[in-house]
Structure 1
Amino acid sequence: MRVPAGPGAFDRTPVRLGAFAVGLALVFGATWGLGGALGGPPGPAAEARSGGHDDGGEAAHGTGHSGAPAAGDQPVDLPGGLQLAQDGYRLEPLTAGLSTDHPTDLRFRIVGPDGAPVTRYVETHEKELHLIVARRDLTGFQHVHPTRAADGTWSTPLRALAGGGQYRVFADFRPAGLDRALTLGVDLPAAGTYRPVELPAPTRTAGVDGYTVRLDGELRPGAEARLTLTVERDGRPVTDLEPYLGAYGHLVVLRAGDLAYLHVHPDGAPGDGRTAPGPAITFHTSVPSAGGYRLYLDFQHAGRVRTAEFTMFAGAVPTPADQPAGTTPGAGTTPGAGEHGGPGHGHD
């Protein structure tokens, strides 16, 4: 069963993206126009602070940080991933788009305030940079870790879902000399006949590769929420989760509509003497507004990383009048959740 993604829900009409040349002219015209606005003279959008990795390891960061004053001296508070540039740093894609036929070598760099590619980073959760990719309808989630060349160019193979569409690419990193992590985002196209998928109904359980993950807790707009995810396999609690990137689980949250980004982490860490390796993983996070959110839990067991996916609503759940006939929000098994490695999931 499905519910609409609320304001900003996707048009269900098939969209033919066509040749890359036409698509790229439109995409990069809009993208670099936005980048120019954000990367030019200081202003509310350019100076706003957005969320990234939490470096403390206990409670995850919120949705962003107050930045430069807007009109009327009101602070700007933007979630992560909505900007191409921030604090003088810019995400610069070097690859035209993604392919649905074979993995594309996605290349990009982070350009610093001095105009040169950044080559020095502070590791967060055992990596210099985390790359999150999702199609605009919140399918095709991938969390990968590109390789950086000496000249500051990052690269990683990526493949788009059949049908193509617009993909949001998030770079989550902390440059050396900056006291916090940044999350920058850019859209890339994949040619094909795009048929957006509706946001799945809210669910409390997700099945993936023989595992069942249960989600407890609620999202509250503008307030901290405690979320606990419990992992079982074949009906038995998993008590030997394996450390992955310095934690027993990683949770990415994307807001339906604009794909505002949160990357949160659990309480404690492996080997701290108090954090058990499952079955429960607890997170603290907050979301910036009411509406639909898609949650992606990465966990490792038996030597493999898997992703469990959920839909949650912050605030009031849409009423029946707002939903297609026959749709009822409630618990269920998340469709499309699966093991990493296919076109829709990735981890490196």
Structure 2
Amino acid sequence: MNTAAKIGLYGAALAVTFTSAYGIGGVADPLTGKTPSAPHAAHQESNAMNNSDQHTGQTPPLPGGLQISQDGYTLDLLTPRLAAGQAAPLRFAIKDEAGKAVTDYARAHDKELHLIVASRDLNTFRHLHPALGSDGTWSTPLDLPAAGDYRVFADFTPAGQGAKPLTLGADLAVAGPYQPRELPPQKATAEVDGYTVTLDGTLTAGKMTGLTLTVAKDGKPVTDLGPYLGAYGHLVALRAGDLAYLHVHPEGNPGDGTTKPGPGISFMATAPTHGAYRLFLDFKHQGTVRTAAFTLYTTSSTTSAATAQHEDHTSAEHQ
């Protein structure tokens, strides 16, 4: 059985299921002890409201992305089918209770809406920023390499006082020859375009833990990461099986006088249950955004990613 990986991103973290590194309003950041900056306030209020269910005994809300409708808003996927390997526009709208397309959104981390597209087997991942038309229709070019079932996540906050951040999800079918793929194996490092990203920290079911992702290139630490959407890195976590969604923000902000532009990017997160999770880190260096992906299994211990990987290999050798 796989043991934990130590690990080291973005959007609204959904409470009992997943918890980001930030609290509510003027409450101190659990990582730094400082009051969170203004750009995170809307997401923090939602997180704190969700976290309160842990202490009241009430049934917690569903994780993000599992619902197509929530709080009077619905994700209307106008392009429910695409063909594998063929670029085509993906179109959708966010509808209110009256069925009218929403045209006014609050900006969060430089964008009004963040779109995530992931295959059900978690081998394909896209983080996109579509364009909003005057009629409330969002659109973005999309080219998916493999046929199969996909999930589309819209991460947004409607404009208006008291509006809460939401993550709505809908299924997308991609036609073509289909070959099922296994969840990629758990590893402490990921390689992408000559960069090596290393995970450090545990992902523990029901407990908030610290995560750090360290970026290196050609064996040397990267100390000049570029800001991307207001941060040095963004992490999306999806639970294998139902693709419950989490977007987490890293500790600190570029230009705050204390947060260094690498090589490490720190986060806090809570897994809702034991199981397998797929994490995707977006980071920017020398003008290009890259994504490093990891498979992680939850643990109740403090085993490091490197130790967990060694234990997995040792166990396999003795079987």
TM-score normalized with structure 2 length: 0.78
SS in 2 for 1:298: strand
2:71 to 87, 95, 100: 87
**Could you say which residue in structure 2 is the equivalent of 1:96?**
80
| More relative contact order, 1 or 2 (CA 8 Å, 6+ apart) | 2
Residue 330 of structure 1: CA displacement? 5.8
One-letter amino acid of the counterpart of residue 200, structure 1: P
Letter in 1 for 2:50: H
Q: For residues 148 and 310 of structure 1, what CA distance do their matches in structure 2 show?
A: 31
Aligned partner of 1:187 in structure 2 is 171
Gap runs ≥5 in structure 1: 4-47, 318-327, 332-348
**How do 1:1-348 and structure 2 match up within 5 A?**
56=40, 65=50, 74-162=58-146, 164-177=147-160, 178-315=162-299, 329=312
Task: Decide whether the 8 Å contact of 2:235 with 2:279 is kept in 1.
Answer: yes
In structure 2, distance between residues paired with 1:198 and 1:309 = 14
Structural RMSD (CA): 2.8
Task: Say if 1:51 and 1:181, in contact at 8 Å, map to a contact too.
Answer: no
Q: Match of 2:9?
A: none
Q: Distance in 2 between matches of 1:247 and 1:125?
A: 8
Residue identity opposite 1:121 in structure 2: Y
Retained in 2: the 8 A contact 1:97–1:190? Answer: yes
1:273-314 residue CA offsets vs partner (Å, 9 max, x unmatched): 100000000001111110000000000001100000111111
**In 2, Cα distance between equivalents of 1:149 and 1:50:** 33
Q: 1:264 corresponds to which letter in structure 2?
A: V
Alignment partners' CA distance in 2, 1:135 and 1:269? 31
Deviation of 1:194 after TM superposition, in Å, equals 1.7
Structure 2 stretches lacking a partner, 5+ long: 3-14, 23-38, 302-310, 315-319
Corresponding letter in the other structure for 1:212: T
Q: Which residue of 2 aligns with 1:6?
A: none
Deviation readout 1:9-55 (Å, 9 max, x if unpaired): xxxxxxxxxxxxxxxxxxxxxxxxxxxxxxxxxxxxxxx99879975
Given the superposition, is the C-alpha separation of residues 240 and 310 from structure 1 closer, same or farther in structure 2, using an over 3 Å criterion? same
Contact 2:205 2:300 in 1 (8 A): no
Deviation at 1:127, TM superposition (A): 0.3
Q: Is the 8 A contact 2:19 2:269 kept in 1?
A: no
Amino acid at match of 2:109: H
Q: How many residues align?
A: 270
Q: Percent identity?
A: 55
Any conservation in 2 of the 1:52–1:182 contact (CA below 8 Å)? no
CA deviation after TM superposition for structure 1 residue 64, in Å? 8.4
Q: Distance in 2 between matches of 1:101 and 1:184?
A: 26
Indicate how the Cα distance of structure 1 residues 52 and 280 shifts in structure 2: closer, same or farther if over 3 A, else same.
closer
> Cα 1:156–1:294, aligned 2, differ >3 Å: closer, same or farther?
same
TM-score, structure 1 as length reference: 0.72
Letter in 1 for 2:274: A
